Amino acid sequence: MPTICAVTPRDRLARDAARNNAEWCDALCRTHGIPGRFDPGAWVDPVRTPRYYPDAVTLDPGVDAASILERIDTTSPGCSVKDSFANLDLRPDGFEVVHEAEWIHRGPQAAPVINAGAMTWAPIRTPDALIAWEAAWDVDRDSARLFRPALLLDPAITVIGGFVDGSIVAGAIANRTRSDLVGLSNVFAIDDDLDRAWSGSITYLDTALAGRAIVGYESGDSLSIALRQGFQTIGPLRIWLKDA
């Protein structure tokens, strides 16, 4: 008889985080005119997605590599797959792992944040403010308008900025996928004080979207900061890239 593996609460949280992230990827791709689709086991986009964004996000640890790759463009340079459960092997298909990270989760009753600082946090509401936000997010100026004004019209998306004397010095993006869950991504600070950026964005969400758990994924120093802010790791992920 086949072995039946129980789905643990941690497994469910990882699936929730992966789904939230896939919905954020889909929202961004829609603003570029290339919406993806939610298929069994994965979100996929058959058209090459914008820079930094995957062509597929697995949503079920049981999905197999072949079924993912046949649904996306693997022939042109830059194909990427977010392996949400770090259990695929795409090396035989010409991919390599370019990033490894951990899904993170912070419950609505988590410990208070630290080092909130004196920034004022508020949502970005106009296209001009979004341009200024992206310029602060991308100091190298090579993002080529990744974040389009249509994001501001999506009721599930909130682009938030940390302001000092009217200038954007930090920021993040929140996306709501359920009444009890919000994703937090693209956290930045122009002075690299990410502790303050994480704390400020979490404080804003705890007020504006009270009662929701927060999910995302991070690695390295950003992961350490998130853990200091009350997050817990809930599972690994990998990003695979097939390039020229």
Segments making up each domain of the chain, as ranges: 9-104+237-242, 106-233
- Inform me whether the pLDDT recorded for 46 exceeds 60: yes
At the top level of CATH, the class of 106-233 is alpha beta
Does residue 6 or residue 113 have the better pLDDT?
Answer: 113
User: Which residues sit opposite 238 in a β-bridge?
Assistant: 83, 100
> What mean pLDDT is reported for the chain?
93
Report the pLDDT value the prediction gives residue 86, as an integer from 0 to 100.
97
Which amino acid makes up residue 87? N
User: Nearest-CA neighbor of 57 among 85, 77, 33?
Assistant: 85
Residue 188's pLDDT band (cuts 50, 70, 90)? very high
Are residues 96 and 240 in contact, defined by beta-carbon separation less than 8 angstroms? yes
Are residues 164 and 37 in contact, defined by beta-carbon separation less than 8 angstroms? no
The string of pLDDT tens digits covering residues 70-114 is 999 999 999 999 999 999 999 999 999 999 999 999 999 888 888
- Inform me whether the pLDDT recorded for 173 exceeds 50: yes
- Inform me whether the pLDDT recorded for 2 exceeds 80: no
DSSP letters of 67-107?
A: HHHTTS--SSTTEEEEETTS----GGGT-EEEEEEEEEEE-
**Half-sphere exposure of residue 209: CA atoms within 13 angstroms, side-chain side:** 27
Report the pLDDT value the prediction gives residue 32, as an integer from 0 to 100.
97
pTM across the whole model:
0.93
Give the integer Cα–Cα distance in Å for 189 and 170: 4
Residues in the chain: 244
